[in-house]
Amino acid sequence: MNTTYKSNNNVVYSCKYHVVWCPKYRRKVLTNGVDVRLKELLTEYAANLSVDILEMEIMPDHVHMLLEVDPQFGIHKAVKSFKGYTSRILRQEFPHLKTKMPTLWTNSYFVSTVGGAPLEAVKQYIENQKTSQRQKDKMG
């Protein structure tokens, strides 16, 4: 698998996350234009953060995103920023979102790292570092 790496001034990285979050009470409110506007807002706001949206799908009662995030910014900060920004704007633009629920999003979310080498391959690579360094030292 060919991994492309990103970098900032201090870090070279490849940090990809599958993130899912839901509206409060898992209400099916991400429909009738709210879903389209949410996608626009997330895409637009990602440009302001250290975040690349690799894939995104808006379901009536939850949001799926595949994100690449600068580790110095952090996935938690990225999700909180997305949720705060979109909640504020969507509740202004779609007044029915204010009357149905006290807040648009739940406080919680799901996140899982994705991509890169399988865990066992990374463990094996790390275990083999000393052996391969000894071999290089012997060769001169």
> What amino acid positions are annotated as catalytic residues?
125
- The CA radius of gyration of the chain, in Å to the nearest whole number, is 20
Cβ-count burial 98-115 (b if 16+ within 10 Å, e if not):
eeebeebbeeebebeeee
